[in-house]
Amino acid sequence: MSEKPLRILCFGAHPDDADFRFAGFAMHYRALGHQVKFVSLTNGDHGHQSQGGLTLVRRRYAEAMAAAKIADVEYEVLDISDTELEASIENRKTVIRIIRQYAPDLVLCHRACDYHADHRAVGQLVQDASYLLTVPHVCPLTPHLSIPPVVAYLFDRFTRPEPFRADVALDTDSLFERKARMAACHESQVYEWLPYNDNHLADVPTDPEERFRWFVAKHEKRFMIDADLLRPVLKRIYGEQRGSSIRTAEALMFSEYGLSVTPEIRQRLFPFIP
């Protein structure tokens, strides 16, 4: 571990986004004693076919806290309504304050090209905040940073206007069941809303352990597809033999905003990656 623990800040749009795309990285950081915080910029109050409002907000908050316990991370959920997040000045200032107060070495977020308007807004907000973090007269009551953090994007499969380019890829095979346990804490999503929205709610088993195994199979298939898409990068990082056999993976793409990533900075930020 580096002499000073790293501070890692991951923004998602909803109370499960960071969990799906960054849990493996987060677990590696925590195993080395580094600090990790997840922030959901909305409260998830619209993410269900029958529940909503206060009931769903409280449920999704409890799910996020349960997931945080499994990964041993800090988790904050902002009280902004799901599906209504905007890249507004007010929200930009909120993001600036959160980043400044946490003083991270690395900030993660969605890209500003995505199927979900909330995801796009997160990417835009972090992008817009990146330079302003060092400007003293912006949000002057929250001390500015002298050096901006590195900013990176969570993996996605979108190709327009630009495909995701993986700068860092992580083998998550050894952590996969723990990742699945973490994701499965979001019961309202993985067992209810997402199956409903995909028109296969009737396929979800009722027995808790059978239901979890059903979810693990679906979750693993998703990340196996990602690993295949990331195969050239995995081989480059882990070598031909290991890179060819990795079944599940996560990846990050460095942003042009924030601190530039030198080989030395990359090595410091990702001590668990060859």
Q: What is the pLDDT of residues 29-79, one digit of tens each?
A: 999 999 999 999 999 999 999 999 999 999 999 999 999 999 999 999 999
Query: What is the reported pLDDT for 69?
Result: 98
What are the Cα distances from residue 99, in Å, to 27, 35, 43, 90, 234?
Answer: 21, 14, 19, 15, 30
Q: Which of 249, 244, 239 is nearest to 173 (CA)?
A: 249
Structure-token pair, residue 167: 């700068």
pLDDT digits (tens, 9 = 90+) for 185-227: 999 999 999 999 999 999 999 999 999 999 999 999 999 999 9
Q: At residue 16, does pLDDT exceed 90?
A: yes
Q: Are 195 and 186 in contact (CB under 8 A)?
A: no
Query: What is the reported pLDDT for 1?
Result: 41
pLDDT digits (tens, 9 = 90+) for 79-95: 999 999 999 999 999 99
Query: What is the reported pLDDT for 235?
Result: 98
Q: Report pTM.
A: 0.96
Q: Where are the alpha helices (DSSP H) in 83-207?
A: 89-102, 117-132, 176-184, 187, 194-197
Let me know if domain 7-172+249-269 sits in CATH 3.40.50.2300: no
Write the CB contacts of 241 (distance below 8 Å, at least 6 apart in sequence): none
Q: Where are the domains of the chain?
A: 7-172+249-269
Q: Which amino acid is at 98?
A: I
Q: Identify the three-state secondary structure at position 257.
A: strand
pLDDT digits (tens, 9 = 90+) for 108-148: 999 999 999 999 999 999 999 999 999 999 999 999 999 99
The confidence band for 106, taking pLDDT boundaries of 50, 70 and 90, is very high
